[in-house]
Amino acid sequence: MPTHPPLYVDVVFPTSVDTPLTYRVPEELRELVVPGKRALVPLGTRTVSGYLVGTRDRSPVPQTKDLREILDAEPLLDAHLLELTRWVAEYYLCAWGEVIRTALPPGIDTLTRQVVRVTAAGTAVMDGGGLLRAGERELLAYLRVRGEAPLSALTRRWRRARPMAHALTRRGLVEISGEVRPPRIRPLTIPQYLLAPGVDAETAPLSPRATRQRAILRALASRSAGLPRGEAAVGPPAALAALVRQGLVQVKEVEITRDPFAMPEPCGSLESPPQLTPAQAEAVVLVQGALQDRRFLPILLHGVTGSGKTEVYLQAIQHALAQGRQALVLVPEITLTPLTVRRFLARFGGRVAVLHSGLRGGERYDAWRRIRRGEADIVVGARSAVFAPLPRLGIVVVDEEHDPSYKQEEAPRYHGRDVAIMRAKLLTAPVILGSATPSLESYERAQAGRYRLMQLPQRIEARPLPRTEIVDLRRVDGGERLLTPPLCAALEACLARGEQALLFLNRRGFSTVLVCQECGAGAGCPHCSVSLTFHAGRGRLRCHTCDFERRPPERCPQCHGNRLRYLGFGTQQLEAAVRERFPKARVARMDRDTAQHWQAAARILESLERGAIDILVGTQMIGKGHDVPNVTLVGVVSADMALHLPDFRAGERTFALLTQVVGRAGRGDRPGLAIIQTFNPDHYILRAVQAQAYAALWDAESPLRRELGLPPFGRTVLAVVSSPAAPDAQAGALEMARLLRAEGMGSSSLSGPAPAPLYRVRGRYRWHLLVREKETAQLHARIRRAARRLQASAVGRRVRLDLDVDPASLC
Ligand code: ADP
Ligand code: ZN
C-alpha cells in the first residue's frame, strides 16, 4: 500500500463489466481516495458509479481515463469486507462489483445524493463581478436563489453541470457534500373485518342455510378489534364477501407497525441466563477459549430440536460482548423464526439489530448505518446479513446451518453459511454451526476433524421426542388417503384434549394437475416444462415456476373433449377436507398463497401461539423454528413427493424437513405424536426420521456420494446454458463442453451436456453440464477461462451461461 496519495485506482462495477478497470486520479481527488468508497468514472460513452477496490502507483495499461468524482465521505466497506467480497467473487465465479452491490443495502445509490451549495466566497465573486464564465455565472445564480440543489438536478438542467461544479469547488466558490435523502416511508395498512355497529351475531337476519355466515358473525362477535381476512373467513371467501355486501360486516383499514422487532430502548428487565447443562457448558467453554486466543474455530453444534442450541449461542455471544466484540447471527428466514429472534431480543434488548425482509429500503439503510457506526452489537438476519458491516465482529453463529435458503439462487450465487465461515476465518474468530440435521458437508468436515463436533444429546429436562407412526397409504382406500383413519383418530383425540395440531403438505394450491380423460393431455405452462396447479380461491390455473396464470379451459385444448379431470392435491384441498371433516375446529392455512408477506406469516404464527387456531395446515413454512407447547400432533400428509425429486440431495432434504416438522410436536411437557403418511413405508429416510437417527442417514447416503464424487466428497459446479431457441441452447452447451474438455476436464469429472430436469423455464430452454472434482485447486480458474471463451464465441453470444458453484439443487 503506497503511503503517499495514490496515482491510480482500481474500480469494479455493480453490473456488466466483470474485471476491475484502472483509472488515473486527478490531483484534487488524491487525498479523498480510499478503497471501499464509490466513485464516478467514465465507462465507454457514459459516466457510471463504481466501487474503489484498490490503489496503485503505476497503471498496468498505457492509457487510462480520469476518475471524475468520489461519492462517499467514508468508505462503505472496510478492508475486511473488501477482502471477503473478493473471495466470494473468486470462489463463486461472479463479478466482484456484483458481490459488493449485494453486500450493500439495496437502493443505496438512490438513497444518497450530492448537494451543491454556494459558499460565501462564491457570493462575493458574483457580487464583485469576479471572473466567471457565462455558464458558471448562470449556475451560481441558480444556486443562490435556492440556497442549494442536488447535483443530479443541475446535470438535468445543464449538460456540463458536473465539471462546472467541480471547477467551482476547486476555486472554493461552491461546495459539494453527500447527503442522505430522507427515505419516503408510507404507513402500512391491512384490512380488518369486524361486526357492523348494532349487529348481533345470533339474531342478525340470515337465511337458515347460511351456517358459514353465521359462524363468521360469531367469530367476529368476540373480537371488537376485528380479525384479518384469513381468520375471519371460515370456509370459502364468498361467505365473508356476502356479509360485507349485506352490511353486516365492515372492513376497516388498520395501520400496523411495520417492524415487529423494533425494540424500545433497553428497559433493564432483560432476561437472565439459565444454568447450562454440562453438554452446553462444554460447547460454551470451547467458544470462550477461541475468543480469548482470537482463533478461527468452526464448531458444528449437533442437537435435536429443543436440546438447548440457542442457549449455547446466547451465552457464547455474551462472552464475546464482555470482551468488547460483536456477534453476527444468521437464521434461515426471519419471519418464520420469530421465536429465535425474540430470544435474542429478550436477552440483549436494544443491542440487537434485526435485518429482515420486511424492512423497506429506507429502514434497511438506517439499520445498516446504525450497524456500521458500531451502535448494534448483535446482528440477527437472513442470508445477506452475512455482509453486515460490524466493525468489531468477534463471533459468528449460523442457526439451522443445513437450511437450503442459505444458498442464493440468483447471481451472486453464494452460500450464506460458507461465506460466514470464511468471514470468521478472515477474522480469526469462532463460528458455530447449529442444526438438528447437519448438512452432510458439515458433518463430513466434523468427521474429518476440520470442524469441532459438539453434541447436545437430549432435549432440555429430558422432554421426550415425539413418537412417530408411519401410515402405509397402499392399505388405505383411495378416498381416505388425504386424511387417513389413523390421522383422523389422532386429530379427534387431540381436539378433544383441547390441544393443537399441524398438518404438513409440501404442495400449494388445490389440485396439482388437470388432465383430459379422453386423450390424456395435461394443462402445462406455455413457458415452462411444468404442469399448472389449480388454485380454488381465484379459480385459476397457475405455474409455480413463473407465476403464469390462466382460466381453466372448458374443453381439452388438444382433442376438444369435455371430460377434464383434476388430480393431485395441495394445501387448499387439504384445508377444505379438514374443515369438512372437523367442522367445529378453527382451521387456518399457511403457505406462500396465504402468507406471501411476512406480516401475514407472523400473524398466523401469533394466532397459533395464543391458541386461536386448532389445526394449522401448511407447507414447510409451518416447520421452522416456532415452539408452541400446546401443539401435540403433527401430521405429514404425504411424504412421497419430496423423496422422489430428481436430485442427489432429495433424501437428505426430506430427512431434514420431516425431522424439523415432526420436532414441532410435544415441545411442552406433554408428549407429542407425529403421523407420516406414505406409499413407501419402508424407505430408509422415513425409518431414519422415525428413529431420529442422523447416523442412519449418514450411513445410507455417504457411500454412494463418495463413489460418485458428489458433495461432501467432491466439489460440484453446475453450468446452465440457456436460450429461448432450443437449438442455440444445445449448441452452446456442446461448445461449453468442448471448452471444458480443452481445459483438461475428462469424462470422470464432466457430466453432460444434458437437457436440464426442468427443461424449460420462463420460455428458455436449459442444458446442464455438471463438473465434479475432488481437487479444487485450479478448478475455478479453468471454468472461468472456459466461460470467457464461450462468451467470446459466435454461438456463445446467443446463449446465457449461469455458473452455480456448490449448487443447492440440480433441477
Ligand atoms: P434448540 O435451539 O436446540 O431448539 P433451545 O435453546 O431453544 O433449544 O432450548 C429449548 C428450551 O429449553 C427453551 O425453552 C430454552 O429456554 C430452554 N433451555 C435451554 N437451555 C436450558 C438450560 N440450561 N436450563 C433450562 N432451560 C433451558
Ligand atoms: Zn411457467
**Ligand 1 near 625 CB (within 6 A):** no
How high is the pLDDT of residue 266?
A: 43
Average pLDDT, the chain: 86
**Ligand 1 near 339 CB (within 6 A):** no
Ramachandran assignment for 67, one of left (phi > 0), alpha (psi -120 to 50 degrees), beta (any other): beta
Q: What is the mean pLDDT of residues 9-35?
A: 87
499 in helix, strand or coil? coil
Q: How far is CA 776 from CA 575, 736, 742, 772, in A?
A: 48, 19, 17, 9
- DSSP string spanning 166-203? HHHHHTTSEEEEEEEPPPP---EEEEEEEEPTT--TTT
Pocket probe mutation, ligand 1, options 280, 310, 339, 345, max atoms within 8 Å of Cβ? 310
State pLDDT tens for residues 296-345: 999 999 998 788 999 999 999 999 999 999 999 999 977 667 778 888 98
State pLDDT tens for residues 398-444: 999 999 999 999 999 999 999 999 999 999 999 999 999 999 999 99
How high is the pLDDT of residue 459?
A: 78
The model carries a pTM of 0.81
148, containing H or E segment = strand 148-150
Ion ligand 2: protein residues whose beta carbon lies under 5 Å: 525, 527-528, 543, 545-546, 548
Task: Assess whether pLDDT exceeds 90 at residue 291.
Answer: yes
**Ligand 1 near 307 CB (within 6 A):** yes
Query: How far apart (Å, rounded) are the C-alpha atoms in residues 616 and 631?
Result: 10
631: which strand partners? 500
Q: What is the mean pLDDT of residues 545-559?
A: 85
**Ligand 1 near 55 CB (within 6 A):** no
State pLDDT tens for residues 714-751: 889 999 999 999 999 999 999 999 999 999 888 778 88
At a CB cut-off of 8 Å and minimum separation 6, what does 722 contact? 729, 761, 764, 765, 766, 767, 799, 800, 802
State pLDDT tens for residues 125-149: 888 877 888 888 888 888 888 888 8
Place of cell 351456517: 211
**Ligand 1 near 306 CB (within 6 A):** yes
533 in helix, strand or coil? strand
How high is the pLDDT of residue 671?
A: 79
Split at pLDDT 50, 70, 90, the class of 537 is confident
**Amino acid letter, residue 426:** L
Task: Assess whether pLDDT exceeds 80 at residue 452.
Answer: yes
State pLDDT tens for residues 612-658: 999 999 988 887 767 788 899 999 999 988 887 778 888 999 999 99
Query: How far apart (Å, rounded) are the C-alpha atoms in residues 317 and 329?
Result: 10
* Nearest-CA residue for atom 24 of ligand 1: 274
Question: Which of 14-23, 71-80, 493-502 ranks highest by mean pLDDT?
Answer: 493-502
Could you tell me the distance, in angstroms and rounded to a whole number, from the CA of residue 4 to the centre of ligand 1? 55
Q: How far is CA 184 from CA 71, 170, 181, in A?
A: 22, 34, 9
Q: Which of 111, 109, 137 is nearest to 38 (CA)?
A: 109
Task: Assess whether pLDDT exceeds 60 at residue 520.
Answer: yes
Could you tell me the distance, in angstroms and rounded to a whole number, from the CA of residue 528 to the centre of ligand 2? 4
Place of cell 365473508: 240
State pLDDT tens for residues 475-515: 988 888 899 999 999 999 999 999 999 999 988 888 888 88
Task: Assess whether pLDDT exceeds 60 at residue 1.
Answer: no
Could you tell me the distance, in angstroms and rounded to a whole number, from the CA of residue 531 to the centre of ligand 2? 8
Higher pLDDT, 177 or 395: 395
How high is the pLDDT of residue 263?
A: 46
Higher pLDDT, 569 or 282: 282
At a CB cut-off of 8 Å and minimum separation 6, what does 431 contact? 296, 297, 298, 299, 395, 396, 397, 398, 420, 421, 423, 424
**Ligand 1 near 308 CB (within 6 A):** yes
Could you tell me the distance, in angstroms and rounded to a whole number, from the CA of residue 523 to the centre of ligand 2? 11
State pLDDT tens for residues 108-130: 765 566 788 888 888 888 888 77
Atom number in ligand 1 closest to CA 313: 6
DSSP code of 532? P
Least confident of 560-564, 594-598, 718-722, 789-793: 594-598
Task: Assess whether pLDDT exceeds 50 at residue 519.
Answer: yes
Q: Which of 805, 647, 651 is nearest to 717 (CA)?
A: 805
Percent of residues in the chain assigned helix, strand, coil, to nearest 5? 35, 25, 40
Q: Which of 744, 741, 739 is nearest to 793 (CA)?
A: 739
Question: CA 4, 8, 12 angle in degrees (round to 5)?
Answer: 125
Could you tell me the distance, in angstroms and rounded to a whole number, from the CA of residue 268 to the centre of ligand 1? 22
Say if residue 410 is exposed, middle or buried (CB neighbours under 10 Å; 0-12, 13-18, 19+). Answer: exposed
Q: What is the 3-state secondary structure (H, E, C) of 32-82?
A: HCCCCCEEEEEECCEEEEEEEEEEECCCCCCCCEECCEECCCCCCCCHHHH
CA dihedral of 29, 31, 35, 38, whole degrees rounded to 10 = -40
**Ligand 1 near 366 CB (within 6 A):** no
